[in-house]
Amino acid sequence: MIYKRSSSLFLEAEKVIPGGVNSPVRAFKAVGGTPIFVEKAKGAYLYDEDGNQLIDYINSWGPMILGHAFEPVVDAVIEKAKKGTSFGMPTEIETKIAELAVSMVPNIDKIRFVNSGTEACMSAVRLARGFTNKDKIIKFAGCYHGHSDSFLIQAGSGAVTFGSPNSPGVTKGTAKDTLLAKYNDLENVKTLIEANKNEIACIIIEPVAGNMGCIPPKKGFLEGLRTLCDANNILLIFDEVMTGFRLAKGGAQELYNIKADIVCFGKVIGGGLPVGAFAARNEIMNYLAPLGPVYQAGTLSGNPLAMAAGLAMLTTLNTDTEVFNRLAQKTEYLHKGIAKVLNKLNITHTINRVGSMISVHFSETEVIDFDTAAKGNNDTFKNFFHGMLNNGIYIAPSAFETWFITDALTYEDLDKTILACENVFK
């Protein structure tokens, strides 16, 4: 395919935007080449500035669960925009989407809307610290909870070593309160808790990891975290920015029947517009200002356009009783098709899948955490990415990102994707 205009636009962007992009993974640094500039999208397809049509498997990193330019969402935004785009005052639609979200998700009584997943996770941790009157948190290597300082931490030299910042600008003082655990390793978590008795406010986790590829929780892992939290007066935070309203109506809490204390949302809840949220039972949420002492605010939080988009999206997901089954079936079909091709061609790989999240790892070993995800053959992935792109398939430009399946995909689209995979490795 030809990307002459995208290349030209990227050169212009680099002059006025750091790296030419407003979110780093878009820069294609992990795979090489020039990022694709999009002109428009509809359903399961992207149309770039050079006129190429691409089958889309990132779907704006998750929110386009029903396809791009989904008409009920677009219509809701247009109608709301005609009445004004922002007021900085309460609107009825905020209550409507809050009531719907609370009715769909288990174990939450109240929800606070913000503008991004980063804000949601940052606010959830602050709330947990305020509620428990403790400072330290446990996060997991390879789980991404946004770019708030507390989350940009890498491991030290030992299992119980304090974290150290892996981004300039994050202070050692901030880093010392973040403890890094190994995903799917309960014993590691127990060791951290024992070494920091009565100091840990919360454990925050992606219940299904999506930022080291798709990595499901091992059987008993989430249950074990719940037990450890209960025994040690620690709040369990599920970062469901990716999984919320995607894996089930009630997200991972419903899918795995695990109750989190605080849940963070983003992506799907905004219908494609910038929205995040965090939610919990009353006793925790009532610690938030203006009811309680934990301060959190945002000028554009509850923006009417974002609320309209989110309400239209959640209403459809709540009323379409088969949508999650359809998504899971399409993802399974894709999984089996790609696996059959790669096995036939003797390409070393492992595929992880949960619901409508899936990733292909070019690895000899099972991928269960960040260490095993990092063992994948990155050169093979680079070839795979560019080969798929040349065949009209757009996947995430990083081996450490899950793919997101949209209900707008047809089985013909899935067959084209499987055939493209075969063409890459022939």
Q: For the CA atoms of the chain, what is the radius of gyration?
A: 21
242: number of CA atoms within 13 Å, CB side?
29
Q: Are 227 and 133 in contact (CB under 8 A)?
A: no
Tokens of 81: 């925009």
In angstroms, rounded to a whole number, what is the distance separating the alpha carbons of residues 269 and 258? 20
The residue among 341, 346, 348 whose CA lies nearest residue 366 is 348
d(CA 238, CA 96): 23
Rounded CA-CA distance 29/400 in Å is 13
Which of the residues 3, 45, 57, 144 is marked catalytic? 144
Residue with tokens 């620690």: 234
Catalytic one of 134, 139, 267, 330 = 267
Say which of 48, 239, 261, 413 is annotated catalytic.
Answer: 239
Say whether 139 is catalytic: no
Structure token pair of residue 1 = 């395919």
Residue type, 274: P
Q: How far apart are CA 58 and CA 403, in angstroms?
A: 5
Closest-CA residue to 129 (of 306, 316, 261, 319): 261
Name the 3-class secondary structure at 54.
strand
Assess whether 267 carries a catalytic annotation: yes
CB 146 within 8 A of CB 121: yes
Does residue 144 have an active-site annotation? yes
Q: How far is CA 263 from CA 71, 370, 394, in A?
A: 28, 23, 30
Residue type, 80: K
> In whole angstroms, what is the distance from residue 175 CA to residue 185 CA?
22
Candidates 172, 171, 169, 170; CA nearest to 161 is: 172
Active site residues: 144, 239, 267
